[in-house]
Structures are given as structure tokens and as C-alpha cells.
Structure 1
Amino acid sequence: MADEGNIISNLDLGAADGPVANGEDTAPAIGIISQYVKDLSVENPNAPESYQWEDAPQVQVDFNIGARNLGPDIHEIELKINVTSKGAQGTAFIIELAYCGLIAMRNIPEDQAHPFLFAEGPRILFPFARRIVADAVRDAGYPPLMLEPIDFTGLYMQQIEARQAESVGEPAGNA
């Protein structure tokens, strides 16, 4: 009878690979532990003169996503955003932000962990980083800069396809 109870509890937990020993949790789980600003730099090199410039500035936004393993089941995702606003008279402002999230991942296969760390995790962090950038630009004396939403999954897929194309195009040996 004890075995029947074990099988029923496994079915209730959704375990498909057999009995769960002593209540061990083998279900996949991902959660955000915390989010934080790792680095924030605001440069306003030509203030207050830049507030009088009439030419529309060119705004360049660069993104970089990094992830690293901090220990068993803990990862850090780092979303770097660099914004530079330049006009004919010079640089109006530069904002550099490194915004991070600590992610707990348990029982996630690598083929699913990698897309989460480099696509889904940054998608979750982006709205918070976007607000920090907008506030930093506003605090520098300019109208808030609202960054457009980013398709992190699309970018991730493009990177994967580019890497696969590079590996296919490499010569197999010396000719």
C-alpha cells in the first residue's frame, strides 16, 4: 500500500520519471531572487550650455547581455545599456547602466537555461532598466528618454543562427 501512495503523490506532482525519494523536489523551477543597479554613470559634460543647443541630437543606444553562474542554481544576468546623445556642438549626455538580476534555476536543462538567461531574463529586467535610464536622462536636465521595447527572443534567435552559420562555413581541415 505504501507504494501506491508514492505513485499517486508522484502523479500529483507531475513527476514522469518515477518516484520522488523522500520528498525531493525535482520539478523545474526558475525565480528572480533580486534586481539591482550594479553600475550607473551619468555624464553631462557640456551643461549648462547644452541646454541651449537647438540642433536635434543623435542618440545612440547600445545593449549588451551577459550571464554568469554564481554557484549551484544561482545565476546573474547583466543588462548593459549605454546611451550617448551628441549634437553638432558636442556631447549632451552619456548614460551607462549595468542592471542585474539574480536568478535561481533548479532542474533546468542547459538547452532551456541558456535561452532563459539570454532572452527571457533580459526581457523581464528591461522595463526596470528602461525606467532608470529615463530617470537618469531627466535628472541630467533633459526630457526623459523612453527606450523602445526590445525583442530579446528575436535577437537571441538571430545570434544563434549567426553562430550556426559561422560554424557551418568554417573549413573542416587544412587543404
Structure 2
Amino acid sequence: MTEETQRQFSIQRIYTKDISFETPNSPEVFMQEWKPQINVNLNNAIKDLGEGNIEVALTVTVTAKIEDKTAFLAEVTQAGIFLAQGIPEEEMGPLLGIYCPNTLFPYVREVVSDLIVRGSFPQFLLAPVNFEALYAQQVQQQKQAEESAEH
């Protein structure tokens, strides 16, 4: 067998790992004009499950505030188990930091949107995310941290 035939990458499972939705100022928030300040945070976590199985979890937190009061807080962690065997180390970073989050994003986008609508708020769709740019930024920050640690 050649090295190429030993390379294996596949999606084993995609699932919602955690969901949280809060409306701490309801019902009063429904009586106000809907002009919220929206903040979106993304986080990506990787966990080695052994035997080539890796869990990648993408967490999205959306906070909507009207003035200084939180209208809603929605947090969803969408995860996937990916099988990666025979993949060179230099390819694993982009695979786990770009490809896997791109695969999970449509699922987390749908769950977040559904939660917000079920909370009786106007529809909210997450804007597309450039995971390649985020990964490049993360790699650059790691290099800078390593360089400053050496000095």
C-alpha cells in the first residue's frame, strides 16, 4: 500500500452538543422597540478521541442587548466526530481549523436561528464565516507568542 491509500478522512457523526437560550428581561423586552446591539462570538475546540477519531466542537454565542439590558443570549455548541488517519501533521491544523468548522457551521447556524425565533424574536441568520482567515490569524498569533516567549 502506498501512503496515499492509507490516508483516510471521514465524518463519523454531527450532533448538537449543548444548547442554551436565555431571555432574562422578558416579557419587558418585548414591549420595547427592537433595535438591538448584537454580539457574536465563535469558539472552536478540538479533542482527540483516540484511534484517529477527533471531536471538533464549534460554539457560537449570540447576545442581543437593548440599551444595557440583555434581550436574549443564545449559545449553541455543534460538534462532529471526524476520522483522520494517515494525514500528515502539517495538514491536520488546516483540516481541523478550517474544513471541520466549515462543515459544522451550517448546522450551528440553523440551530441558532431556530432558537431565536422560538424565543419570539425576529429571525436572525449568522453571516458566513471565513474560517480560513480565522485559522491564519490564529497561526500568526501563535507564532508571535512563541517569538515573544523566546526573547
| TM-score of the two chains, using structure 2 as the length reference | 0.92
Stretch of structure 1 that moved more, 89-98 or 128-137: 89-98
Deviation at 1:26, TM superposition (A): 4.3
- Residues 41-85 of structure 1 show CA distances to partners (whole Å, capped at 9, x for unaligned) of 110122222112115111111111010100111000010111111
For the pair 1:91 / 2:70, whether they are aligned, the reply is yes
- Residues 11-53 of structure 1 show CA distances to partners (whole Å, capped at 9, x for unaligned) of xxxx3x6xxxxxxx94211111111111101101222221121
Structure 1: tracts of 5 or more residues without a match:
1-9, 18-24
Structure 2: tracts of 5 or more residues without a match:
none
Deviation at 1:89, TM superposition (A): 5.8
The percentage of aligned residue pairs carrying the same residue is: 32
Q: Which runs of structure 2 are paired with 1:130-145 in the superposition (5 Å)?
A: 130-145=109-124
- What secondary structure is seen at the aligned counterpart in 1 of 2:95? helix
Once superposed, what is the RMSD of the aligned Cα atoms?
A: 1.7
Deviation at 1:144, TM superposition (A): 1.7
> For residues 119 and 39 of structure 1, what CA distance do their matches in structure 2 show?
21
Q: Which has the higher contact order (CA 8 A, sep 6+)?
A: 2
**Segments of 4+ moved more than 4 angstroms:** none
Larger strand proportion, structure 1 or 2? 2
For the Cα contact (< 8 Å) 1:45–1:92, is it kept in 2?
A: yes
Stretch of structure 1 that moved more, 143-152 or 52-61: 52-61
> For residues 39 and 168 of structure 1, what CA distance do their matches in structure 2 show?
36
| TM-score of the two chains, using structure 1 as the length reference | 0.80
Deviation at 1:165, TM superposition (A): 2.3
- Max Rg structure: 1
> For residues 30 and 144 of structure 1, what CA distance do their matches in structure 2 show?
35
For the Cα contact (< 8 Å) 1:36–1:101, is it kept in 2?
A: yes
For the pair 1:114 / 2:93, whether they are aligned, the reply is yes
Question: 2:6 maps to what in 1?
Answer: 27
Question: 1:170 maps to what in 2?
Answer: 149
